[in-house]
Structure 1
């Protein structure tokens, strides 16, 4: 309809929404194509807000693809526009996305700095969902740094907000993150409890990506406990989902857990033993 009536602004927004939908499906090639079209129209008609959102969505797609240099470039462009038009909500999300990209690169100092900036803005504008997400991201960064006390503190705060605002997807992800932190501490009883709670939510809301990651974490926890049968069971479920949604990173991790667990349990073919030795 937008094309028929030559409404370029609505056309650009619709293209951006299509791109976001394809990102959720994990089809990043289509997502990028639609966001690039949205970006071109936004620049043509000088719609700075839509331009910024398209840039941010492109950055998120490239983060999912593991191209962090491009992701950071697009998020920085979005951040500049958000500050120019004084869109505090978008400024905060761009900062959080930058923090996430830097965390993937292992630059936790920058990751923490950007997430703290996002947290400050979220609290200033009373955006509880963003506040919870920023706290969760801070918790994940502290887990990666090995500061599990701070990781659990921030993640528990994130969990409280997710439950308060009834953000089931956020709650499921945060429960999984708590499980990961407790697994690093060697408290596998708590780790398994949190992961199982997270798994139930991801299945309830049909979040296949998070379900696969949670199954992967359960497999890893059972492997650490020496329960190789359960480790294999959960890793196989994780592997099936990773292949279904084309999550190559999770597929690799699930295969590694499977090989190690089968090796420990003695249930390994000669070909697999050769691969493991390599």
Structure 2
């Protein structure tokens, strides 16, 4: 969780594997449902209300039921459904078997309650379903998210009309519930998922996980570019597809989904999460793809020794020395060489990569190699050569059918225009880069573009505007823990000194640019500095 995110978790028992909660977590004891509230909820069902009023279900029996299960919402709905037509004597006999030792630990007590509850209520309700309905419900429990009827069909089979009938039956018996804002998506109650999945044999479970993953990934492909898929964010849907593929032991698809997620999370600066995602994959199979993604996360954090090891491991584990993974690992090593100033080694690796990519038609790798060679020219001050290479890389990207130019290319061309004092052209390129970076949530690119805009402001002798833009760059890079923060922070300190700012004044600048970013992603600062807005037009 980041920023101002908050989460509320309601649970009868704290996690048994965490002896003390972290400092940011606040524990607040909540009392159990009152007996009167418990009875009110039961009596919302007309049939049950009639049985209670007629004393068919004696109040003493309901009090016993409340004392053993009724103080928490965990069991209420299924209790209500199960006792609607349950014989009072049978219920009394079952409750007499319930023994909850007062000395038992919280975790043990929860397991005991769950077992008794399953034996008395869940088994009874489940037995009322047809075998076909039971199996469909068991398969639905595979999902961790609400899904549509089509999603249920994907794992359970059968015509839509039959599935729709099953869902109504499951809801009536409190096995599933609809997503709060929609009747189109359904989910098994969390406390029942494990109980249901236990009934699915290992091979069947793997096949069901695979079917669930294929359905979710297929929906993402059909609705590509949309923010919402199945009523959820595309990211949540993709995370769930990945989990399903891992459970199915489908490494290839788990690798594909992890790669898409990793690209997004690297852009967002969640480097530790990227490393964890890909370490999970390596537990299943040694493969260069997760190693490369771990290496990229380490590279962005400035962990160059570890990143070098990751890229070398990827090269060693690649089955084919001319595979895409081999080229990406080679590219990663070249980037580290360039960052360290070892341009000779970087060029050697990149020229090897360029030759292999051209010989084997790997156009994406060819463009990446040319971009990195352009960066070397840029670092060494050969702006004309760098400019030509960036244009060449742009042409290759366009020829591959890519709809938008890489913001990295636009950014670097903008920087070259700045060095040539062609500021209008520089701003045009940087604005285009920034819009793409913000659209794709590329935090590192965004931070570096604000830094480049700050440089344009300094060239125009607008020191205060330059300070604000560099300060915003620092705020963004610090928020993701990127190694390039080391470059922007000293510039901010130097500009503050040149402007005779006190530490308090600098702190206020940082506060104000953060507020501006939250308001309009920093475009207000850009308009103030250059008289041009988001559209690139002059602001009157």
TM-score tier by shorter-chain length is 0.7 to 0.9
| Residue 77 (structure 1) aligns with | 313
Counterpart-to-counterpart distance in 2, 1:147 and 1:99: 19
- The unaligned stretches of length 5 or more in structure 1 are 44-50, 274-278
Counterpart-to-counterpart distance in 2, 1:11 and 1:130: 22
- Return closer, same or farther for 1:53/1:221 CA change in 2, 3 Å cut-off: same
1:269 aligns with 2:502: yes
User: Aligned-pair distance for 1:255?
Assistant: 3.5
Contact 2:267 2:441 in 1 (8 A): no
- Return closer, same or farther for 1:22/1:103 CA change in 2, 3 Å cut-off: same
Structure number with the higher helix fraction is 1
Contact 2:267 2:444 in 1 (8 A): no
User: Aligned-pair distance for 1:67?
Assistant: 1.5
Contact 1:152 1:178 in 2 (8 A): yes
- Return closer, same or farther for 1:73/1:224 CA change in 2, 3 Å cut-off: same
Contact 2:268 2:441 in 1 (8 A): no
- Return closer, same or farther for 1:55/1:201 CA change in 2, 3 Å cut-off: closer
1:9 aligns with 2:273: no
User: Aligned-pair distance for 1:235?
Assistant: 1.9
Q: Of 29, 43, 52, which residue of structure 1 is paired with 2:288? A: 52
Alignment root-mean-square deviation, CA: 2.9
1:29 aligns with 2:265: no
Contact 2:311 2:329 in 1 (8 A): yes
Contact 2:302 2:482 in 1 (8 A): no
Counterpart-to-counterpart distance in 1, 2:317 and 2:247: 30
Size of the alignment, in residue pairs? 261
User: Aligned-pair distance for 1:89?
Assistant: 2.0
Contact 2:301 2:481 in 1 (8 A): no
Residue by residue, what CA displacement relative to the aligned partner does 1:162-204 show, whole Å, maximum 9, x if unpaired?
3443353x52110111122333445444433322332233234
Q: Of 314, 333, 338, which residue of structure 2 is paired with 1:103? A: 338
Counterpart-to-counterpart distance in 1, 2:362 and 2:408: 19
Residue by residue, what CA displacement relative to the aligned partner does 1:18-40 show, whole Å, maximum 9, x if unpaired?
55554343222222223223223
Residue by residue, what CA displacement relative to the aligned partner does 1:201-244 show, whole Å, maximum 9, x if unpaired?
32344323211110111102221331213312322332332233
Q: Residue 217 of structure 1 aligns to a residue in which SS?
A: helix
Q: Of 133, 142, 160, which residue of structure 1 is paired with 2:377? A: 142
User: Aligned-pair distance for 1:88?
Assistant: 2.5
Contact 1:202 1:208 in 2 (8 A): yes
1:62 aligns with 2:298: yes
User: Aligned-pair distance for 1:161?
Assistant: 2.8
Name which structure has the greater RCO, CA cutoff 8 Å, separation 6+.
Answer: 1
Counterpart-to-counterpart distance in 1, 2:344 and 2:489: 31
TM superposition score normalised by structure 2: 0.44
Counterpart-to-counterpart distance in 1, 2:267 and 2:427: 27
Q: Of 481, 486, 491, which residue of structure 2 is paired with 1:257? A: 491
Counterpart-to-counterpart distance in 1, 2:407 and 2:250: 38
1:112 aligns with 2:354: no
- Return closer, same or farther for 1:53/1:199 CA change in 2, 3 Å cut-off: same
1:155 aligns with 2:398: no
Larger Rg: 2
